């Protein structure tokens, strides 16, 4: 089984690199057509769609019976089917707003789950040419070199990633802003060194995986934003949980990561929690 899984992952890495060429060319060339999805802050471009097609086509031609959960397929009406079959969870461009604004913080995310358990994650920024890989039991790597999450246990020494999650206004209205700002305020009162927001959930998470940032929390994300980087954070020695501290559920639309369980717990205690309808 493990050898077979390695074949899946190696093939996916090659496809992701191909997709990266497509994204880099589009990033460097004339403006792409931008459309909005559920809200004014939810963007999609032709490149997102082309990359998702390339990945799903390539993987499904090679591996019969594998299933797919892709951001743009779901936006196009596909139902999320979360089964025991090998399932590729794909975000063709995580950080679409960055892509549209030519901010070089974007990631092609490909996660693999088998038996509903995350097994591998590939996060590739084709602009900076950084490829992160995590595989259960095999460690976490950036361009082939091992990475480690930070060992910091103290909020007073932490740099945290957080997004305001503007799209959550669709569900919670302007009350969302009070919650999100309150959460940041509590972290500031706890003495954190600062906040960063890279505009891509996956980049935020690999920043935790490589120990640059100590923690990250976000509400309202989707499985395709976090499936791949979650494996990378865990394999880098970090923790990935629900923001309440409960076990992580990739379909729950929320995530907390930290370099250490102690920091994760203290970060969780700063938060007013909200719940979403699980996506599967």
The footprint of ligand IPD (CB under 6 A) covers 71, 91, 94-96, 163, 165, 199-201, 218, 220-221, 225
Is 275 labeled as catalytic in the residue annotation? no
Is 225 labeled as catalytic in the residue annotation? yes
Closest residue to ligand IPD in the complex (CB):
201
Minimal distance in Å, beta carbon 84 to ligand IPD?
Answer: 26
**CB closer to ligand IPD, 255 vs 267:** 255
Minimal distance in Å, beta carbon 262 to ligand IPD?
Answer: 26
Minimal distance in Å, beta carbon 170 to ligand IPD?
Answer: 12
**CB closer to ligand IPD, 206 vs 234:** 206
Minimal distance in Å, beta carbon 253 to ligand IPD?
Answer: 9
Question: Cα(94)–Cα(227) distance, rounded to whole angstroms?
Answer: 12
Is 93 labeled as catalytic in the residue annotation? yes
Contact 85, 92 (CB under 8 A): no
User: Could you give the C-alpha distances from 169 to 38, 180, 195, 197, 276, in angstroms and in order?
Assistant: 11, 10, 21, 18, 13
Is 241 labeled as catalytic in the residue annotation? no
Report, in angstroms and rounded to the nearest whole number, the Rg of the chain calculated over CA atoms: 18
Q: Which of 93, 106, 221, 232 is catalytic?
A: 93
Q: Residue 130 carries which DSSP code? A: E
End-to-end CA distance of the chain: 26
Q: For residue 186, how many C-alpha atoms fall within 13 Å in the half-sphere facing its CB?
A: 14
- Could you tell me which residues come within 8 angstroms of residue 11 by beta carbon, excluding any fewer than 6 positions away? 58, 59, 62, 63
Q: Which of 52, 94, 214, 235 is catalytic?
A: 94
Is 72 labeled as catalytic in the residue annotation? no
Q: Which of 48, 72, 91, 214 is catalytic?
A: 91
Is 214 labeled as catalytic in the residue annotation? no
Catalytic residue positions, numbered: 71, 91, 93-94, 96, 225
């Amino acid at each position: 089984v493990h050898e077979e899984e390695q074949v899946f992952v190696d093939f996916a890495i090659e496809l992701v690199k191909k997709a990266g060429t497509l994204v880099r060319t589009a990033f460097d060339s004339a403006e792409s057509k931008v459309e909005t999805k559920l809200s004014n802050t939810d963007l999609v471009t032709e490149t997102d769609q082309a990359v998702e097609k390339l990945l799903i086509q390539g993987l499904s031609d090679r591996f019969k019976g594998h299933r797919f959960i892709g951001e743009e397929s779901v936006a196009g009406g596909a139902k999320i089917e979360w089964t025991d079959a090998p399932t590729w969870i794909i975000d063709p461009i995580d950080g679409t707003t960055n892509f549209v604004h030519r901010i070089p913080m974007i990631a092609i995310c490909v996660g693999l789950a088998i038996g509903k358990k995350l097994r591998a994650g590939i996060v590739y920024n084709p602009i900076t040419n950084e490829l992160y890989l995590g595989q259960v039991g095999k460690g976490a790597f950036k361009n082939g070199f091992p990475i480690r999450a930070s060992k910091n246990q103290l909020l007073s020494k932490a740099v945290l990633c957080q997004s305001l999650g503007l799209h959550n206004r669709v569900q919670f209205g302007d009350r969302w802003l009070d919650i999100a700002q309150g959460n940041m305020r509590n972290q500031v009162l706890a003495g954190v060194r600062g906040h960063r927001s890279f505009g891509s959930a996956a980049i935020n998470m690999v920043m935790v995986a490589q120990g640059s940032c100590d923690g990250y929390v976000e509400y309202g994300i989707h499985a395709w934003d976090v499936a791949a980087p979650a494996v990378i954070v865990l394999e880098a020695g970090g923790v990935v949980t629900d923001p309440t501290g409960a076990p992580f559920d990739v379909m729950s639309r929320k995530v907390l990561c930290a370099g250490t369980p102690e920091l994760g717990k203290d970060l969780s205690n700063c938060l007013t929690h909200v719940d979403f309808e699980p996506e599967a």
